[in-house]
């Protein structure tokens, strides 16, 4: 399975740390490493409060998400492909990632894609690290290997928190079963 643009799901055995019940959209995966956004760790800060802290009036529903423990001040805008900026990277046929100075002002003016989320931070892996985690190669343990599933706008945007983890894990099991039959 091509990993770029797909979801990583923390296995049920992984407990007691930041990664517990996480769902990650893998935005980059290549020889230099991997990058992704944790989709289901919502912060307590609303979009409105975030905008107020920056002096921008963004009267939109929703929350800012914790994209991961790396570059926690980095703002990323995950969205459907019906929107773009000068710094937009297409992830797959449905999703894009933008990081640009004009995102928040455009949102405040109502210029929004059909589905989107704002993230602070990201998840990152060094060269070969994610492949090692997926295969359970030493020093990684296969018991704690990530589950994978193809991403879709419904898996990415329709819910969050533990519901998103359960839905993605169920879908991963269905994909796995279809591939062995």
In a domain, residue 49? The reply is yes
Residue 2: inside a domain: no
Cα 85-26-13 angle, rounded to 5 deg: 150
Q: How far apart are CA 78 and CA 157, in angstroms?
A: 10
H runs (alpha helix) in 23-123: 47-54, 103-108
Closest by CA position to 139, among listed 148, 129, 147: 129
Check residue 172 and give its pLDDT.
86
Bridge partners of residue 18, in order along the sequence? none
- For 51, list phi and psi in degrees, rounded to 5: -60, -40
Q: What is the pLDDT of residue 141?
A: 73
Joined together, the tokens standing for residue 166 give: 């359960």
User: Per-residue b/e over 154-169, b at no fewer than 16 CB within 10 Å?
Assistant: ebbbebbeeebbebbb
Closest CA to 75 of 94, 110, 103: 103
| Domain span holding position 56 | 7-180
Domain of residue 125, CATH code = 3.40.1740.10
DSSP reduced 3-state for 27: strand
Least Cα distance to 67 among 39, 91, 99 occurs for 39
**Burial of residue 31, with CB atoms counted within 10 A of its CB: 0-12 exposed, 13-18 middle, 19 or more buried:** exposed
> How many separate domains does the chain show?
1
Tokens of 153: 């706008």
As a whole number of angstroms, the distance between CA 131 and CA 84 comes to 31
Q: What is the pLDDT along the chain (181 residues), one digit of tens a residue?
A: 689 999 999 988 888 888 999 999 999 999 999 999 999 999 999 999 999 999 999 999 999 999 999 999 999 999 999 999 999 999 999 999 999 889 999 999 999 999 999 999 999 999 999 998 888 877 777 777 888 999 999 999 998 887 999 999 988 877 666 665 5
| pTM for the model | 0.92
């Amino acid at each position: 399975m091509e990993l770029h643009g797909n979801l990583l799901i923390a296995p049920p055995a992984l407990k007691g740390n930041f990664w517990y019940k996480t769902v990650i959209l893998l935005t980059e995966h290549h020889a230099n490493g991997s990058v992704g956004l944790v989709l289901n760790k919502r912060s307590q800060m609303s979009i409105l409060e975030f905008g107020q802290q920056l002096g921008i009036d963004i009267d939109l529903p929703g929350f800012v998400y914790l994209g991961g423990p790396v570059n926690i001040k980095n703002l990323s805008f995950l969205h459907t492909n019906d929107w773009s900026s000068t710094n937009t990277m297409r992830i797959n046929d449905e999703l894009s990632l933008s990081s640009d100075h004009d995102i928040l002002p455009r949102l405040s003016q109502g210029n929004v894609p059909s589905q989107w989320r704002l993230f602070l931070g990201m998840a990152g892996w060094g060269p070969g690290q994610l492949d090692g985690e997926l295969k359970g190669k030493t020093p990684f343990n296969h018991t704690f290997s990530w589950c994978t599933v193809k991403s879709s706008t419904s898996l990415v945007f329709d819910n969050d928190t533990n519901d998103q983890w359960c839905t993605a894990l169920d879908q991963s099991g269905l994909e796995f079963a279809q591939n062995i039959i």
